Chains A and B, each alone.
Chain A
Amino acid sequence: MTRVDEPEPPAPVAADEPELRRAAEAESQRQAERKASPDTLRGYFRIVYQRVRSGDSGVLPVVAGFVLISILFQALNSKFLSAGNLVNLLIQGSVYMLLAMGEVFALLLGEIDLSIGFVSGIGGVVAAELVKESTGWPWWAAIIVALLVCAGIGLLQGTIITRLGLPSFVVTLAGLLGWQGVMLMILGTGGSLPINDHIINDFASGNLTPIASWLVMIAIVAFVSVRMWVQESRRRASGLIAPPASLTILKIVGILAAGIILVLICNTNRGRLIEIKGVPFVVLIVLGVCTAWTFLLGRTRFGRYVYAIGGNTEAARRAGIRISRVRTICFMLASFTAGIGGIVYASRLQSVSTALDGGTLVLYSVAAAVIGGTSLFGGRGKAVHAVLGGLVIAAIDNGMGLQGYSAAARNIVTALVLLAAVTIDSLARRDAARH
């Protein structure tokens, strides 16, 4: 090779240091201009705004959507926001919420679980079979076994998906068909299995007494507030990023207000012939599952790994995370949560029958999770998204039912809302990618 001598002399590092530093400082200054301090309330909202801009819109769209839908239906029919109807809405939505919370585990991985509708049916059938007179199990044992069966189904499906490397779509589609078959076999053609166990039936139709409602609400709010206050003051004291005290107080006041409103609504008599008052047990079940899964996803190693796998599987693998195990457990938890939903569903109808449409249930649960703000592309989503999404779906169903619209019209509107939610998710992601 012949070439003219290199014109540039080799650059010794020492000579370049100041220039290097200057350029680096210029870069850091450029970044600092965009800086927002989290120390003040305003600065904090600025950071929240930036998060929304970066594609993490969280629960904002679904809350806005719910408010919009409520205003619309209230304008059409003043019964919509009546205490009785709102409680009805919570009970109707609870099955969607529970199933959607299960679906969130699959969606967080960027996968889907189509089987959870009929897996929930299996949960209901097993519980009903075990508590019926001829078997005579106590309600709690029946529920434990039903949930274990569901978890086992999820474990089986998850193992097939992760160990054989099959797409979750196909494996759980097979589950959708297969578990429906199993359910029909247990029930017999056109069969129906009534539930006579009072405690199981009370899950959906029983209520706390009004006084117990207040006490439970105050206990929960007090616990949450104290925890939040202690945690955030500790962070403020140690100079970590923490919201200002004013925001913490604002949040606590907000939670308290929400609790008071919920209990006031529930404690209004909603019966016609007999007095019906108090917070339904099912609200506590949904709240409990939501709290447990929020903790699991947000505060444990397992949860962190679920998000990491959904965000960047390769990065998770290099970080030494046992991907197959985490994914299998996710499918197990999805089916387990579906089992809870199935028992609540059976409790609401006080029976399990072949009319249980697991196909519609699973599609509604996916829709609920996505409407609530869970990303179909993996890595983004929370249990609370499923609850809010389930509420929106129930509101559409309920509101249009009040107006006397047909099931066909309700399906179309639900579809449009779902499309809107997916569009928001996808636009937010594209916006984030452009930054």
Chain B
Amino acid sequence: MVTDVGAAAAPEQGSSALAPLLRLERVSKSFGAVHALTDVDLEIPAGRVTALAGDNGAGKSVLIKCIAGIHAPDAGTLYWQGRPVHLRNPRDAAALGIETVYQDLALCDNLDIAQNMFLGRERVQHFALSEDAMEEAAAQTLRSLAVTTVQSVRQQVASLSGGQRQAVAIAKAVLWNSKLVIMDEPTAALGVAQTAMVLSLVRNLADRGLAVIIISHNMNDVFQVADRIAVLHLGRMVAVRPASEMDRQIVVDLMTSGVSTRTAPSNKAAEEPER
């Protein structure tokens, strides 16, 4: 069992930190002869940013797709707030409060911010869209996330910068009272200032009590926002530890070879990698 020690930076969330929002137990998934995931255990607590690290082909994408309801695991169980759940499609996941922000963001350039945020779930009154209500809700969500860089929710997404688009995609995920937001490489294509903006947004989500899973290849970003780091190696979870007990080199060792003999340069010795 993974025992989450709790991260240094995030405030304690009381009981929610004890019972994880989502727990994966011995989840396996193969595609033909390829074992993409083997007996993966993982706990996702609310109010924490969990970074998912791993080399290419380690199974990061398959893992988040299992959580997002796109793939059904071959074996193993997902526990949502302690209850076992079966996610047959993304709608099931969305119904639980799991939202995914994909790397390509899935935004329509020709629609404005509010239209994108409500796409597929528009509010309707007598066959006509309730534009005012949607606009208000969209603006409120952006405000609550402290996204101040967009001038209006009636701006077309085509006119937004990369960081603003990311912010819109994240706001879209948050709009639905989601409890878990999964982000795939949110900072991959961004400049320095925009990366900082997106990372502070990610932090903001966790501080609001949401669980966040973030995939990133950028170790700087990982250590900047993550409370916990989970490392996958060839489809196996080799370590899940608080970020304060890891450093860059340990993560790289774990990603490339699955083990690390190093100890973190900070206060405590690292735990043995999980099997």
Contacts and interface: CB of A to CB of B under 8 A. Distances in A.
Interface in A188-211: none
A13 B110 contact: no
Contacts of B106: 312, 314-315, 318-319
Contact of A9 (B200, B220, B265): B265
Contacts of B164: 31
Interface string A1-27: 101011011111110110111011011
A140 B126 CA distance: 28
A247 B196 CA distance: 39
Contacts of B136: 238, 240
Interface stretch (A51-59, A87-95, A149-157, A214-222): A51-59
Interface stretch (B39-47, B76-84, B152-160): B152-160
Chain A interface mostly: helix
Interface residues of B, number: 68
A341 to B, nearest CB: 25
A13 B224 contact: yes
A40 to B, nearest CB: 14
B194 A27 contact: yes
Contact of A1 (B131, B194, B253): B253
Contacts, number: 169
Contacts of A336: none
Nearest to B172: A319
A307 B108 contact: yes
A312 B109 contact: yes
Interface in A291-346: 295, 299-301, 304, 307-308, 310-312, 314-316, 318-321
Q: Chain A interface residue count: which class?
A: 35 or more
B122 interface: yes
6 contacts: A13-B7, A13-B225, A20-B196, A24-B193, A51-B156, A307-B115
Interface of B: 7-10, 90-91, 102, 104, 106-111, 115-116, 119-122, 124, 127-129, 131-132, 135-136, 139, 148-154, 156, 158-159, 161, 163-164, 192-194, 196-197, 199-200, 203, 220, 223-227, 243-244, 246-249, 253, 256-257, 264-266
Interface of A: 1, 3, 5-6, 8-14, 16-17, 19-21, 23-24, 26-28, 30-32, 34-36, 38, 47, 50-51, 54-56, 234-235, 238, 240-241, 295, 299-301, 304, 307-308, 310-312, 314-316, 318-321, 379-380, 432, 435
User: Which 9 residue pairs across A and B have the least CB separation, nearest first?
Assistant: A319-B120, A23-B196, A311-B108, A13-B9, A311-B110, A379-B110, A315-B106, A31-B149, A6-B249
